[in-house]
Structure 1
Amino acid sequence: MFTGIVQGVATIQEVSTAPGLNTYAIRLPAERLEGVTIGASVSINGACLTVTRQEGDCLYFDAMQETLRLTTLGKLNQGDRVNFERAARIGDEIGGHLLSGHVHTTATVTSIKRPENNVTIEFEVPEAWARYIFPKGYIAINGASLTIGEVTGNRFNVHLIPETLRATTFGDIQESDVVNIEIDSQTQTIVDTLDRLGYDRPAPNH
């Protein structure tokens, strides 16, 4: 499990491709490597990956075909920067909201506004996932736990403070960029349960 509090930005050092499999060498800050073991889980841009080996300050991860299909990991290249978070431990503070590291879908950046001291970014998700997105609800974008701002159709925005921009890759984001999305599990459960009970259907006309 993860908390959605990004622990820093890592750099892609190398990408090796094979049929149905990409292997990533990712350089993490040295102070974040203490206690890393083979088999440990690390969130890379919101996708839970398993450490397969370590060489110095580089960790190696394999991403299978299904992961590459559902996420943006297949588009990563040498030199790209990614958000990372090591798996939460019992007793850690949950500053964001609980995440599984299982990416549900991707979203496209449709606009970026930069008023003084903050940034508002608008995203568009596939129609099928819009039903789980509500104003002031939680969402994870590239592994970062964020609060949803306004929602219009299948578009929503988030408001980012300078510290979030500093500590994550959101300071580099551009229009038309594609990001990983993990829907809040509690919201998804509630919406799906109400749908099964018939409350998600239009009321009959009398």
Structure 2
Amino acid sequence: MFTGIVQATCEVVSIQQAAGLKTFEVAMTPELTKGLVTGASVANNGVCLTVTKILNDKVFFDVMEETLTLTNLGQTQVGDNVNIERSLTFGTEIGGHILSGHIHTQAQIKSISNTAEHYNIEIAIAPKWMNYIFYKGFIGINGCSLTVGEVSDTGFMLHLIPETLKLTNLSQFSVGDNVNIEIDSQTQVIVDTVERILAKKQLTDR
């Protein structure tokens, strides 16, 4: 489990191709690797990955073919920075919202407005996912816990503060790039439950 509070952006220093997977080597800081062990879970751009090896603050992750297809890790190249968050430790402050690290889909950056007053990103997403996205609701974008801005039938806005831009890789993306999306699980459960109840009611009323 994760909070969506990104701890650092870290460079992917190598990617090795193997049968059915790629092995990512990510350079982390001593603070991030302190106490980290093989088998631990670490979110990379919001994707929950398992540590397979640690060598001199270089951390290795095996990324399966399905994950590469579903998430933007499939488009990640050597030299790119990924958002890193280690798994949630109970007893510490939770500043974001609970994320599982299981990406639902990718969405495309439709426009970026960067002025002295604001940094806004417009996200275009498949309409079926808009059932779970609400104004002022939570959403996970590349592992960042963010508040949804204005919504439309085909997407939504993000209004980013300087601190978010400094601590994450969101400022490094351009129009047309894909970001990883994790829908808020509580919202999804509520919407799906209500839809099932209404569907059953319609059947019984016939």
Task: Report TM bin, short chain.
Answer: over 0.9
CA distance in 2, matches of 1:38, 1:154: 41
Match of 2:183 in 1: 183
| 1:30 positional shift | 2.2
CA deviations on 1:132-173 (whole Å, 9 max, x unpaired) are 111000000000000000001121011000010000111212
Cα shift readout 1:21-79 (whole Å, capped 9, x = no counterpart): 01000001222110000001000000000000011011000011111121111111110
Query: Are residues 22 and 194 of structure 1, via their aligned partners in 2, closer, same or farther at CA, if it must alter by over 3 Å?
Result: same
Amino acid at match of 1:34: K
Aligned to 2:170: 170
Equivalent residue number for residue 23 of structure 1: 23
Q: Is the 8 A contact 1:117 1:162 kept in 2?
A: no
Give the length in aligned residue pairs: 202
Report what 1:78 is aligned to: 78
Q: How does 1:53-68 map to 2 (within 5 A)?
A: 53-68=53-68
Shift of 1:189: 0.3
SS in 2 for 1:197: helix
| TM-score normalised according to structure 2 size | 0.94
**Distance verdict in 2 for CA 1:138–1:199, change over 3 Å:** farther
Conservation of the 8 A alpha-carbon contact between 1:117 and 1:161: no
Equivalent position SS for 1:198: helix
Matching of residues 1-206 of structure 1 within 5 Å: 1-198=1-198
Percent identity between the two aligned chains: 49
Name the stretch that deviates more: 108-117 or 83-92.
108-117
Runs of 4+ in 1 over 4 A off after TM superposition: 199-202
- Cα displacement (A) at 1:115: 2.8
CA distance in 2, matches of 1:102, 1:91: 23
Distance 1:116 1:198 in 2: 47
Say which SS state the counterpart of residue 122 (structure 1) adopts.
strand
Greater fraction helix: 2
Shift of residue 124, structure 1, vs aligned partner:
0.8
Q: 2:117, 2:143 → 1: CA distance?
A: 23
Higher mean alpha-carbon deviation, 25-34 vs 4-13, is at 25-34
CA drift of 1:200 comes to 11
Instruction: State the secondary structure of the residue aligned to 2:198.
Output: coil
- Aligned mates of 2:151, 2:190 — CA distance in 1: 18
Q: Which amino acid aligns with 1:58?
A: K
Gaps of 5+ in 2: none
Structure 1 stretches lacking a partner, 5+ long? none
The TM-score normalised by the length of structure 1 is 0.94
